[in-house]
Chains A and B, each alone.
Chain A
Amino acid sequence: MSNEKNDWWVGLFVLLGAIALAFLALRAGNFSTFTFASTYNLSARFDNIGGLKVRAPVKSAGVVVGRVADIRLDDKTFQAVVTLKMEKNFAFPTDSSAKILTSGLLGEQYIGIEPGGDDKNLENGGNISMTQSAIVLETLISKFLYSTAEKQGTPAQSPTANPLQKD
């Protein structure tokens, strides 16, 4: 086989590989959602973050405005400190509140920001003071069970007793 023909086929092969990689990165992967816009950091403290993970989206009115950059535990207050990487072109008032919400019934968790009415905006390193923790299913169920038990006038002796049982 002549050299030129060989080069042509190898070139085609390598080009196909490049197309495949670009397809995997752009069409199948999340490369196109990476923002190269500059960001600023906010922090928020939660009593319980549930199943929130790093890189979970931060949404306001359902639109993604940032991502969770870091989660750690403050060992003085025993609260979770969540660092949010917000996109620079979205600014929120200082009295905005943050909630941990779930997309769908069993979907993954994200942070929802509800803007407040203050004139000043949160700046880099700012702190969102009003937060609402994640709703943990077990806590919810146990609250419900205890309240039904109290209504029936028979306080549950132990958490293992089935309060729904009619006697």
Chain B
Amino acid sequence: MNQISHALTQLGKQTRLKITGLGFFTRFFFTLLTRSGIVFQRPRLVSQQVHFIGNYSLLIIAVSGLFVGFVLGLQGYYTLNRYGSEEALGLLVALSLTRELGPVVTALLFAGRAGTSLTAEIGLMKAGEQLAAMEVMAVDPIRRVLVPRFWGGVIAMPILAAVFSMVGILGGWAVGVGLIGIDTGAFWSQMQASVDVWKDVANGVIKSFVFGIAVTLIALYEGWQAQPTPEGVARATTRTVVTSSLSVLGLDFLLTALMFSN
């Protein structure tokens, strides 16, 4: 009897904590937005973060994009070959990259490459009491530390996704035309006939923008909420990857249903 009541209490406590966490997360987001004025007052802080988050992620994004393009080229060819329509390879590669793979895979890599470093950095700042010291000096740590990182991530993510898609299409082209020997004119013309600038490319950019907001926000939130111990920072970093990957995939389903349903 006692055990059952204990389990029920635990369940209630966990639910309450999760909902409180969600409420705090929302408030955190709005606090970041309302204190975003520093972006215009000291733009250099943002540009430093774009450099830290964007430029350093560029290599892994470009290499992954290239290999995803290679694999799409090969796999797409094997399937299309069965129906005698190898020329549609360009269309297949471009549509899958601009609509889905570009934004989603970039966001997953971004969570692993940039999100973890944001969480660890802020968690360690908290553990080292740097954030508390800032507050003592009347410097708002949200404004000075979190806001530039947030906008840096939001700016870097769509650029990275666009680079991923471009490199992927070039990779698919290299395999399709260079390795397999599809006609290069047919490859591009089939692609151009079916990829719509607004419906496919622009929606992909919107997706990557939303993912950028989600991943950066989760990374900052987890860092801000981390227990100020080495173990707490480690746990927060893990949670960043798990939560942001799951929310990217969930958001992707929602956005796809909204954008491509007609």
A interface list, Cβ under 8 A from B: 1, 3, 6-7, 9-10, 12-14, 16-17, 19-21, 23-25, 27-34
**Chain A residues closer than 8 Å to B196, beta-carbon distance:** 29-30
A30 touches B197 (CB 8 A): yes
Q: What 9 A-B pairs are tightest by C-beta distance, nearest first? A: A17-B159, A20-B162, A20-B166, A29-B197, A31-B197, A28-B94, A29-B195, A20-B163, A23-B166
How far apart are the CA atoms of A12 and B44 in the complex, in Å?
A: 15
**Chain B residues closer than 8 Å to A16, beta-carbon distance:** 58, 159, 163
B51 touches A29 (CB 8 A): no
A10 touches B55 (CB 8 A): yes
How far apart are the CA atoms of A159 and B134 in the complex, in Å?
A: 83
How far apart are the CA atoms of A13 and B197 in the complex, in Å?
A: 23
**Chain B residues closer than 8 Å to A17, beta-carbon distance:** 158-160, 162-163
Q: How far is the CB of A48 from chain B (nearest CB, A)?
A: 21
The closest CB in chain A to the CB of B195 belongs to: A29
**Chain A residues closer than 8 Å to B188, beta-carbon distance:** 27
**Chain B residues closer than 8 Å to A14, beta-carbon distance:** 50, 159
A10 touches B158 (CB 8 A): no
15 example contacts (A-B, Cβ-Cβ < 8 A) are as follows A6-B47, A6-B48, A7-B47, A10-B47, A10-B54, A10-B55, A12-B55, A17-B163, A20-B159, A21-B162, A24-B165, A24-B204, A30-B196, A31-B197, A32-B192
How far apart are the CA atoms of A34 and B196 in the complex, in Å?
A: 10
The closest CB in chain A to the CB of B50 belongs to: A10
Q: Is B205 an interface residue (CB 8 A)?
A: yes
How far apart are the CA atoms of A24 and B95 in the complex, in Å?
A: 11
Counting chain B residues whose Cβ lies within 8 A of the other chain, the interface size class is: 20 to 34
Q: How far is the CB of B191 from chain A (nearest CB, A)?
A: 5
**Chain A residues closer than 8 Å to B166, beta-carbon distance:** 19-20, 23-24
B165 touches A20 (CB 8 A): yes
Q: Is B257 an interface residue (CB 8 A)?
A: no
How far apart are the CA atoms of A31 and B44 in the complex, in Å?
A: 34
Contact for B200 among A1, A10, A23, A29, CB less than 8 A: A29
B163 touches A28 (CB 8 A): no
How far apart are the CA atoms of A146 and B193 in the complex, in Å?
A: 39
Q: How far is the CB of A137 from chain B (nearest CB, A)?
A: 18
Q: How far is the CB of B161 from chain A (nearest CB, A)?
A: 9
**Chain B residues closer than 8 Å to A33, beta-carbon distance:** 192
**Chain A residues closer than 8 Å to B174, beta-carbon distance:** none
Contact with A along B62-104 (1 / 0, CB 8 A): 0000000000000000000000000000000010001000000
How far apart are the CA atoms of A6 and B48 in the complex, in Å?
A: 7
B44 touches A13 (CB 8 A): no
The closest CB in chain B to the CB of A16 belongs to: B163
Q: Is B201 an interface residue (CB 8 A)?
A: yes
How far apart are the CA atoms of A23 and B201 in the complex, in Å?
A: 10
